[in-house]
Each structure stands twice: as structure tokens, then as C-alpha cells.
Structure 1
Amino acid sequence: MSRPNIVFILADDLGYGDFSALNGGLSSTPTLDALIREGVCLTQHYTASPVCNPSRACLLTGRYPHRTGSVDTLEWWGLERLALRERTLADMLKAAGYATGLVGKWHLGAFDERYHPQRRGFDETVCFRGGMHDYWQWRIEWGGQARRSDGRYLTDLWAEEASAFIERHRREPFFLHLTFNAPHTPLQVPDEEVKPFLGKAGVPTGGVARLYGMIHRMDSAVARVLETLRRCGLEENTLVLFCSDNGPQFGGRGDERLDRFNSNLNGCKGNVYEGGIRVPMILRWPAGLPGRREVGGMVHFADWLPTLLAATGTPLPPDNLPLDGVNVLPVLRGEDGKTQTRRCWQWNRYAPLPECNAAVRDGDWKLVRPWRDGAGEVPDIQWLAVSMYGPEHFIHNGIFRPPYPVVEIGAPRAPLLFNLRADPGERENLAEAHPAQVSRLSLILENWFAEVEAEWRSLPENRGQAPSHTPLS
């Protein structure tokens, strides 16, 4: 069998409960529902972070986000940047003879050309480089050439450009990374997409109705890409993967509130409960994977780089930095194989903090360190609008440099303990009943954080920097 093409589709802030096949028809995702029926569905698939770019950094490197330098979403501080020493999946597949393309959101280096995706292994790029973007008033870069909006809706533009990439490279192996920014805010979509959900039973707010409209539009965009593969005769030997970078965004006020069904998982984007880090993954590869199956083994974003290298017969460069992921291709094929069942997560604003919004899962047991007061605050959030609508400011003037804004941080809270086999919704805290498990898992998490945080601080971009956090007395 010839080497497969890879189409890795990444949604932004999509949860398990956003598929109509899983929410009783509240939303409408006929294309993704068909993929669920035809393909391989993972039921214990974890992202690397409860927010955007740290997960993307792990996905492309096979390494925990802290190691890669990409620890927070605030591009005006450069905290989203993928360290220059990292080698990406695109780098490796390009060296192996694949045509490589990125269409969509980048968010691994917004304002410095050294971090441009064309410097990180992608031959062709059509993207915005920050973390959030307007769907109508966009500024998109075709390679190094920026263009302002021509009236097209951004999700539609991504589908057009992804299909064109497939057409251009239909006679050679290719890796296409299609990274929708939908359904990330702002909640913008053509009116005809919203109408079927307004006032629908079970759709709690107008904000959720618009979000479901955005998801339906993205589903139609996926259909266009899949149809291009079929029309080009590439469907059989193309590995299509679809997942989300983190769990669904909740919150908001009044009719804009986004809280909604998420398959009874606890939490949402931004926290390390299951609802923030456990995300859908669907695969379809008719020539290489038996379909119509579920896989219950634990799989993590770090596993995709070694797995896709194995699927394409591409060796890991001998001088590559050590991976945190493992090849799960045998497990996906239903053969003998194991997955890594001990994983850790941590995220807060600005520099990483210990004992804050962190978790470790080891088999059935999961320990959570809740948020510390103040650790999610962004006093300079006004720069987000500049980044979205006027990125030239930072392109010409550069980003801010530490010290970061001073934020008062509360003391660590007591850890929580869950048994996910018995309690996948994380409803019953077992910390008092199992103190030995709390001690064991706390030590694992502490050692992990010390290791990866030290590696983050050792990067040339960060060396010598101290976090500007003031503990509350």
C-alpha cells in the first residue's frame, strides 16, 4: 500500500455534546455524524491543555506544552510561541517527501516571522496567526501576503482553500492541517444558519443557537473537503482525523450564555476537569483502519505525532527532542498494543503556577488541583482587540516583554480525587476516603510540573524570567 495522505481537521472549542449524533439532535452535524458511523471513534481521547495553543503545540511536536514554550494564549506577550528548537510533524513529513499545508488558525507565533508556519514545516499556508478572529472582517495571510476581507465567511474560505490544496497535490502524498476557528467566539454566522435553532426545545439561549449555526456551517465545510477527496479518487487511502483543541466554551450573560449539553462531563474550556480536556476524535482511513468501531483506550494529543509517523512510514529524526507520546496505531487497528495511561495537565495565565488548575490521571484515578484565586485574570485583555483587528501594531513594534502584569494569587486549594471508571462525570470527591491515592498522585503531579516548568524556563526565550505573581497574604 502506498503512503497515505493525512487530513487532520481541528475544530476550536467543540465538545462531545456538540455532535447531533450525541446530543439527541439539538445541533445538526450530518457530515460528522456520518464519520462517527463509518470511522473509528475514541471514547477516552485527551487534549494536552484546556485551551487552544498549548494543545496545538503538543499535537505538532508530541511533547507536553510547557516543554515547547507554548503555555498561554496571550500572543501580545509571545506566550503562544512554539520554541524555535522544536521540530514539528510538518517538518518531519516534509522531509519525507510530503507536500504540507496549513489552512486556518495557527496560534503558535503571531507576530515574528521566525514563528511563521512556513518556517515550521508547512509548504503552503492560508491562515491567521493569532488565537481569535472575526469571521467577516478578517485579515488572512496567503503565505507571506496579507489580504483583508473580500466578503466571504471565514469558515467557507477555509473549505475552499483546503479543497484547492487537495486538488493541487492529488498526485503526491500530502499532509493537510485544516484548523477551523469555529465555533470559537465571536459568535458570527449567516442568519440562515441560526434560524433552525432559535427557540428550539433544548437550545437554552440565542448564543447557543448561533453557536450551533456556526457548527452546522463548519460541518458543511467538512463535507466539501471530504467530497473533494472522493472526487479526486483519494478517499480510500487518506487518513482523515477530526477533533477539537479543547472542550467547549461556557459562560456569558443572559441570552449570550453558552452553557449547554456536553455529554454530562464536568467542566468546560479553561479547566482541567473532563469537560475541558476530554475531546472527540474520529478517524477514517478505509485502506488502513477497520471502521465502524469504538476504541476505549486512553489516547493523548502527544500520541498523534508518533502515530502518524508510523502510519506514513516516516522515521523520527534521531536527534529529535524526547517525545511524551507513543505510537497508538496498533491499538487503533484493534491489534495488541498499549496506550500511556498516566498523563498530566496544567494551565493558568502568564507564567505557569504550581498547584493551580492542574491534574494527573493514572489509570482510573484522577487528581485535580483547582484554580487559585486570581490565576485566570488578564488585566491587559484590551490588547486582544488590537491583536485581532490591528496586528500590524505588534508586527511593526514587537511584543511586550516581562515582567508580566502583577496579579494577586490566592493560596492553593485542597486537591480533589475522582475514580473515572465509577464516576466519569467527576461528581464524587474521594480525597478524604483515599488519602494514600491523594499523596501518590500529588507527588506524581508535583514532579511532573517541576520537570516541565524548569524546561519552559530554560528556553532561550524565557531564560531568567520570573513570574510577576504576588501571593495573597
Structure 2
Amino acid sequence: MNKRWINLVVLCGLGLLWVPACFPAKETASRETTPNIVLFLVDDMGWQDTSVPFWDQATDFNRLYRTPNMERLAREGMKFTQAYAASVCSPTRISLMSGMNAARHRVTNWTLRRNATNDRAHPDLELPQWNVNGIQPADSIERSTYITPLPELLRQAGYFTVHAGKAHFGAVSTPGEDPRQLGFDVNIAGHAAGGPGSYLGKNNFSAAWRDGDRIWDIPGLEKYHGQDIFVTEAITREALSSVDRAVSAEQPFYLYLAHYAVHTPLEVDDRYYQTYIDLGLDEKEARYAAMVEGMDKSLGDVMQYLDEKGIADNTIILFMSDNGGLSAVGRGGTPHTHNLPLSSGKGSAREGGIRVPMLAKWPGVTPPGSTNEQYLIIEDFFPSILEMAGIRKFETVQPVDGQSFVPLLHGKNQSTGDRPLFWHFPNNWGPSGPGIGATSTIRKGKWKLIYYHNDQAFELFDLDADIGETQNLAESFPDRVRSLATELSRYLESVDAQMPQYKATGEKVPLPAAADHFP
């Protein structure tokens, strides 16, 4: 038995791997037996940035945005009201590609340049040496996470794999910056950067128009340079053109359509912008709303394509956002209010930073027009997509933390209330606001506990009674704080999670159960 298999057997014996990960990939897919899969991932789209209500009532935000194709997808599939991502982009994307929680994979903030952190300097904390170089297909890249990527497993099983849009998997000059090194047969417009130079073809999708660093320039769309076209439209056209190759060959496909929208810079999409100005929105919010509508138009184009090709009944569509909606900076109006009733937004451990819109349509499986109120988290997509593809035997070099939500898609009454979810952000994103900062968080059932690294303080919320996280119940329920903090500490210790150090003393920030304010 070779060393790799010995290690794998040991890990399986210890229960550190999700069971199917203990077997090599041998199954292959065919058009007749295997569904196509479209994962439609939006950047920085908040829980409220849609005309589809993800709460128990419609809000003013739901009445503002126009997303008729999301409405159609909700009618034809299942709406998830408590889907979670990380609070910033790269951790979410790495968890999706690896099935690991961010505390384990250590890509805890956004990536860009090799060996360079994007943490803002903190006055009191020395932040850890996290994996700034992202994920890699080899174990030879420093400060990175070596994984067997999701699309590689799909490709091994016979899928044609297409990446279109934002990648943001690995730093510049590492293999992981190229999606083709991570299991995708085709890469459209994906590279190391997590935001666009420009959304406009007439700006060549380059940051030159704003005197920005050319590292943000979107690659591979030169045919659209100089044209009056928004990048969301260009990426959609190229994605569907690539999928045509699989459809013509009668090969199942996995389309990962990951739009740059609605990330900054907020630019004018002339197709929709004036409508929102006429509604009385300020310039920034009109730009933002138009970008949301352009994203929704892309979703509609994908669904129309599937209908025209006669493959809609054999195609699964998953819709998700990579973190909560931007609110602390860059928007019009009052900061931290753009995701109400949720508190705060992108970069925050509060619900506005991590709870996101999710829709799923699996023809013949998901009950049309259904709503699921059970919670799930981004790493769950890894085992779920493999199960949807019929891949039950596979091997990964990494442990898989995610749990399949396929039973929920079948409409089974499977409660997730006893399952703990974890977030870990030992970083400094930059802006300030509710829930923003170096934190570790656990949710279990209706209870959510946030632990702040700098002052070792706790926030405890009852999300069933207080979705807006307006009442910190830590002092009222010390036993609950103690229980959740102990479970959170046990988990962080089990994955060897990184913690900051105090500059003044050089001592590491204690785990929650050893905090100064532990009850």
C-alpha cells in the first residue's frame, strides 16, 4: 500500500474525512443518466437585493429591485431562506471548491498578490499568517491550501466543466490563479483578481479609465473591447457558447457562472439605469440596482437557452451569493442599512454579512414553489453537487467538512437544528461597523454566538425572535454562552484554527472558552 493510501486509510479511520472521500473516483457520467449542473454565483449580492422575498414578508427592498428571472426560478424550484456564506469573497469560493470550512483551509480573507496579505493593519492585533495564495492543485506552493477541486472530480466523472466570470481562487503567479489548473476545461474571464477593472466594453473592461492598477483588468474578452456592452452580458454569451460544445457532443456539463456583478466599481448599465433614477434613487443606488437587474437578465438568458436546447428538464440550477451585500462603504444612503432587516453587511459576522439568497431547481426533485427554512453553509455545496452528479465514490487530498443538502432538495423534513455552523475570520477587512472585525462565530439552532478577538467580548442572539440582532443576550443567558463558546473552542482547536496575537504582550488571543469574558 503506497503512502497516500496509508494516509487516507488513517484519516478515514479517525473519522476526519467525509466517508465518500475515502474512495477513488471511478464513476463516469453520461448524458442519458446524469444531469447538467449550473451554479450561478453572484458577487456581493445581499439577501434583500431581489424582488424574491427571503423573509416571511416582502420588504421595501424587495419591491424596489426587479429580478423576474429569480422569481421564475423560485416558482419552478426551491427557495432557501437561511443559506450562509463567508463574510468576504475568497473564503466562500475556497470552501465551495474544497468542501472545507474557512477555519480549516485558512484562506480567511481575500487574495490577490503572491505572498501579500490584504489585511488592514490593526492597532492592537498581530494577524496570523493565513493562506494568502489561495488554493492550489499541488502541495508545493507556499502559504496555500492543496486540494482536489470540485470541478476536477466532475471532470474525472465525464463532465465538461466551464468556468465563466470571477475566479479569485489563487494569487497572481500561482497555478491556482488559472481555473484550468483547478479542473475546468474552459476558463472565460477568470483570473487572480476579485473585482473588475471596468464593467464596460467601451473601457475594455480595464481599470485604466479610473487610473486603477491594471491587475484588475478582466482577461479573455478582447473581442468585446470598444463595444457598448456590459461585462455581465459578454460573460453570459461566452459561457453559453462554450456549453454548446458539450450539448453538441451530448456530454453532461457543469457551468460555473460566477459574475463580477454586483461588486464595485458601480458603473452605469444603460439598459436599466434610467428606470431607477426615475424612481428617485441616488446615482450610486441606481447603478447598483441596474447591475442587479443585468445579473438577473443573465439568469434568464441561461434558462431560455436550456429551454431552447430542450435540456431544461435534465439541468439542475443552483443560485447563490458569495457573501452578504455591501453596505459599510461604496453605497448610497446610510451605511449598514442595505440588508435590513438583517444587521450590517459584507465583512460582518452579523446576518447581513453572511446570510445570502439561494435558489435551487432540480426538475423532478425539488417541489416547485417550495421554501426551505433549514440552514446550510457554503461548504455543503461540495458534497451536494457531487451527489447530484451521481458521484458517490471519490478521493480528495483534503478533509471535507460540508454535508449534503440533497435530502432537503427532495423536500424531506430533515431538521438541521442540532447542527453547529462555524465562521472564523482572524483578519481585519478594513471598514468598521456592527459585527466587523476579527471574530469567530457559531450558530446552533436559533442561537448565534459571536466572539470578538480584540476585546474577548461575546454577542449572543436568538435569531428566531430577533432576526435583526438588536438584543445582545450574552448577560441574560450565561449558560448558553458557556455552552456555545465551549463548542466553538472545541471546533477551532480540532482544525488548528489560526488566532491573532496581542501586539502589547505577544500572547495569542485565547479561544472563546478561555476568554476574559467567559461566564
Give the structure-1-normalised TM-score.
0.81
1:18-417 alignment runs, 5 A limit: 18-22=49-53, 23-47=61-85, 49-76=86-113, 77=116, 79=132, 81-83=134-136, 84=138, 85-115=146-176, 116-129=178-191, 130-133=193-196, 134-136=198-200, 137-138=204-205, 139-142=217-220, 149-151=225-227, 152-170=229-247, 171-198=250-277, 200=279, 203=281, 205-252=282-329, 255=332, 260-335=337-412, 337-339=414-416, 341-349=419-427, 356-370=438-452, 411-417=454-460
The structure-2 alpha-carbon separation of the partners of 1:277 and 1:255, relative to structure 1 and needing over 3 Å to count, comes to: closer
The structure-2 alpha-carbon separation of the partners of 1:86 and 1:207, relative to structure 1 and needing over 3 Å to count, comes to: same
Aligned residues: 416
- Distance between the aligned counterparts of 2:307 and 2:150, measured in 1? 25
- Distance between the aligned counterparts of 1:97 and 1:217, measured in 2? 32
- Distance between the aligned counterparts of 1:155 and 1:24, measured in 2? 22
Shift of 1:131: 0.8
Moved more, 166-175 or 3-12: 166-175
Aligned to 2:43: 12
Shift of 1:220: 1.0
Question: What is the identity, as a one-letter code, of the residue corresponding to 2:314?
Answer: N
Question: 1:164-188: per-residue Cα shift (whole Å, max 9, x none)?
Answer: 1222211210101000011110001
CA contact (8 A) 1:69 1:80 kept: no
- Distance between the aligned counterparts of 1:253 and 1:6, measured in 2? 34
Aligned to 2:21: none
Counterpart secondary structure, 2:455: coil
Shift of 1:192: 4.0
Question: What is the identity, as a one-letter code, of the residue corresponding to 1:30?
Answer: P
Counterpart secondary structure, 1:415: strand
Question: What is the identity, as a one-letter code, of the residue corresponding to 1:117?
Answer: P
CA contact (8 A) 2:102 2:423 kept: no
- Distance between the aligned counterparts of 1:128 and 1:165, measured in 2? 14
Question: What is the identity, as a one-letter code, of the residue corresponding to 1:119?
Answer: Q
The structure-2 alpha-carbon separation of the partners of 1:73 and 1:453, relative to structure 1 and needing over 3 Å to count, comes to: farther
Shift of 1:424: 1.8
CA contact (8 A) 2:336 2:344 kept: no
Counterpart secondary structure, 1:430: coil
Counterpart secondary structure, 2:495: helix
CA contact (8 A) 1:62 1:323 kept: yes
- Distance between the aligned counterparts of 1:58 and 1:253, measured in 2? 26
Shift of 1:223: 1.1
Question: 1:33-79: per-residue Cα shift (whole Å, max 9, x none)?
Answer: 221222100111111x1000100111111111243342211412271
Counterpart secondary structure, 1:229: helix
Shift of 1:428: 1.2
Question: What is the identity, as a one-letter code, of the residue corresponding to 1:229?
Answer: L
- Distance between the aligned counterparts of 2:70 and 2:77, measured in 1? 10
Counterpart secondary structure, 2:374: strand
Counterpart secondary structure, 1:25: helix
Shift of 1:356: 2.6
- Distance between the aligned counterparts of 1:471 and 1:180, measured in 2? 43
Aligned to 2:468: 425
- Distance between the aligned counterparts of 1:131 and 1:435, measured in 2? 41
Question: What is the identity, as a one-letter code, of the residue corresponding to 1:296?
Answer: E
Shift of 1:87: 1.0
- Distance between the aligned counterparts of 1:13 and 1:221, measured in 2? 16
Question: What is the identity, as a one-letter code, of the residue corresponding to 2:190?
Answer: F
Give the structure-2-normalised TM-score.
0.75
Q: Deviation above 4 Å: which 4+ runs of structure 1?
A: 145-148, 253-261
The structure-2 alpha-carbon separation of the partners of 1:179 and 1:319, relative to structure 1 and needing over 3 Å to count, comes to: closer
- Distance between the aligned counterparts of 1:277 and 1:315, measured in 2? 29
Question: 1:132-169: per-residue Cα shift (whole Å, max 9, x none)?
Answer: 11212424444xx9889443321111110121122221
Shift of 1:206: 2.2
- Distance between the aligned counterparts of 1:437 and 1:60, measured in 2? 34
Cα RMSD, aligned residues only: 2.6
Shift of 1:321: 2.3
Matched, 1:452 2:495: yes
Counterpart secondary structure, 2:37: strand
- Distance between the aligned counterparts of 1:253 and 1:91, measured in 2? 36
CA contact (8 A) 2:80 2:371 kept: yes
CA contact (8 A) 1:63 1:323 kept: yes
Counterpart secondary structure, 1:91: helix
Counterpart secondary structure, 2:69: helix
Runs (5+) with no aligned partner, structure 2: 1-31, 54-60, 118-131, 139-145, 206-216, 430-436, 507-519
- Distance between the aligned counterparts of 1:87 and 1:155, measured in 2? 29
CA contact (8 A) 1:346 1:358 kept: yes
- Distance between the aligned counterparts of 1:432 and 1:113, measured in 2? 47
- Distance between the aligned counterparts of 1:102 and 1:12, measured in 2? 15
The structure-2 alpha-carbon separation of the partners of 1:350 and 1:365, relative to structure 1 and needing over 3 Å to count, comes to: closer
Aligned to 1:442: 485
The structure-2 alpha-carbon separation of the partners of 1:445 and 1:146, relative to structure 1 and needing over 3 Å to count, comes to: farther
Question: 1:329-378: per-residue Cα shift (whole Å, max 9, x none)?
Answer: 11221125454720111224379xxx9322111111110124x6xxxxxx
The structure-2 alpha-carbon separation of the partners of 1:36 and 1:253, relative to structure 1 and needing over 3 Å to count, comes to: closer
Question: What is the identity, as a one-letter code, of the residue corresponding to 2:52?
Answer: A
- Distance between the aligned counterparts of 1:350 and 1:258, measured in 2? 18
Shift of 1:80: 5.1
The structure-2 alpha-carbon separation of the partners of 1:302 and 1:316, relative to structure 1 and needing over 3 Å to count, comes to: farther
1:470 to 471, 495, 503: 503
CA contact (8 A) 1:208 1:257 kept: no
Counterpart secondary structure, 2:183: coil
